Amino acid sequence: MPLRYGRLSHDLDPTDRAPQDACGVFGVWVPPEQASRAEVGKLAYYGLYALQHRGQESAGISVSDGSRIVVYKDMGLVAQVFDESVLSTLRGHLAVGHCRYSTTGASTWENAQPTFRSTGDGGGLALAHNGNLINTPELAARLGAGERTATSDTDVLSALLATRDGDPMAAAREILPVTRGAFSLVFMNETTLYAARDPEGVRPLVLGRWEDRGWVVASETAALDIVGARFVREIEPGELIAIDGPGVGDVRSERFAEPRPKGCLFEYVYLARPDTTIAGRSVQATRVEVGRRLALEHPVEADLVIPTPESGTPAAIGYAEASGIPYGQGLVKNSYVGRTFIQPSQTIRQLGIRLKLNPLREAIEGKRLVVVDDSIVRGNTQRQVVALLREAGATEVHVRISSPPVSWPCFYGIDFATRQELIAGRLDVEGIRDSINADSLGFIALDELIAASRIPKDRLCRACFDGEYPIPVEESARGKYLLEPSRP
């Protein structure tokens, strides 16, 4: 149970970390005359708070008052990094925020974001990135000696975008067309907010209007809702926008590449908040529909349907609706795990998942259970859940998973990088069932999941399920520590 920078990690079992997305990004621009009223630093804070699920290792905010950029970032959760005294110093009319989970580069302060680079004209550029680049070594080779200050793909990209003195748009036109992989970017200089999305649009990025006088860019629509912004549209794959100008500001848009949409299907399964909308489809509605389809595909005689909270809740609701089996609560989740400064003792460490989940014995004793969760990645957590339920008196435990087996690594911003890490990369369904000691095990079929998303199959990245990578990845570009050759 790792302790990082004085806090208990949300990864209770270091051998069975849940899938981790790269990051959440947020940007806001308001007219300079509205700066004191808007408090863009606090808007960025609330936006990042809404995106905390996308990255829990570090957080940061950059702000500009029109003449200079200030960046504040540190390791930890958003609420640990920022307090009222810090936010009161982040004054200006535009801001960029970031919460990070590392996929390229170690989890260190130097790799926290937003990154900052000085430009030759005396200005600066701050950048936040969600995703993962797959040609980082090639891009790093464009930099001169000493131009790299950190070991992340984001630092390399920031250095390249700062090369055109005072003109990030011109630099982006030159650099983004040769940048490959997943990148949803929000960046800024002293006066302008910029956003860009890779041609495949792997990670989500949306544009919103704030009180008809400002603009917001965020990873998910839920972050717009939190700050009171109205959803306008998605940033399109291959699109670059700039927001500035007099009055309420203008959004200038151009294409740096032809769109080749391949949105991440796993966003619908796990990564995005249920109250987010992606490509016009509610994530919550998709997950409930997957549960209905899962009940038809893998029926079973049982007394109660329970979710693994909260990841399995929407699909469990759908499963119960379609099967006619009552829905109930069988596991109680401790919402505060990962928010304590107390280092666990060895005794507590051995309790493992009990820190996070506790069974309701009176609800499950003597019952045949259907346990619904969104995914099985390494299998250890699911194995412990089944053991807990049996210990609490369940007579049968039937596990149903609202995604296909995760059999292939992701190189576009989710941190499972080898097949050996994935239980479905080593075992078939029967082998997994036996490993977790369930009475039966059923995964939703890939075609059923795609149908529930209502997105055409050829517009989705499904690589972690079927091994078909929409952006080819060279073997030499695979790995978290590409720019840290001394690390394993």
What count of other Cβ atoms lies within 10 Å of the Cβ of residue 125? Answer: 27
Q: Shortest CA distance to 383 belongs to which of 393, 367, 397?
A: 397
The amino acid occupying position 336 is Y
Residue 99, annotated as binding a ligand: no
The number of C-alpha atoms within 13 Å of 102 and in the hemisphere containing its C-beta is: 21
Q: Which residues contact 440 (CB under 8 A, 6 or more apart)?
A: 298, 300, 398, 399, 433
Q: Which residues contact 324 (CB under 8 A, 6 or more apart)?
A: none
Q: Which residues contact 435 (CB under 8 A, 6 or more apart)?
A: 379, 383, 423, 427
Q: What is the DSSP letter of 327?
A: B
Active site (annotated) includes residue 99: no
Element (H, E) at 232: strand 229-234
The amino acid occupying position 315 is A
HEC-encoded secondary structure of 240-296: EEEEECCCCCEEEEEECCCCCCCEECHHHHHHCCCCCEECCEEHHHHHHHHHHHHHH
**DSSP H helical ranges for 332-379:** 346-351, 361-364
Q: Which residues contact 302 (CB under 8 A, 6 or more apart)?
A: 325, 367, 368, 369, 370, 396, 398
Q: Which residue has the tokens 């998973």?
A: 401
* Identified catalytic residue from 12, 22, 23, 205: 23
Q: What is the DSSP letter of 313?
A: H
Terminal alpha carbon distance of the chain = 21
* Binding region: 264, 311, 373-374, 410, 461, 464
**Enzyme catalytic residues:** 23
Please report, in range form, the residues annotated as the binding site for [4Fe-4S] cluster.
264, 410, 461, 464
Please state the residue numbers annotated as binding site for Mg(2+).
311, 373-374
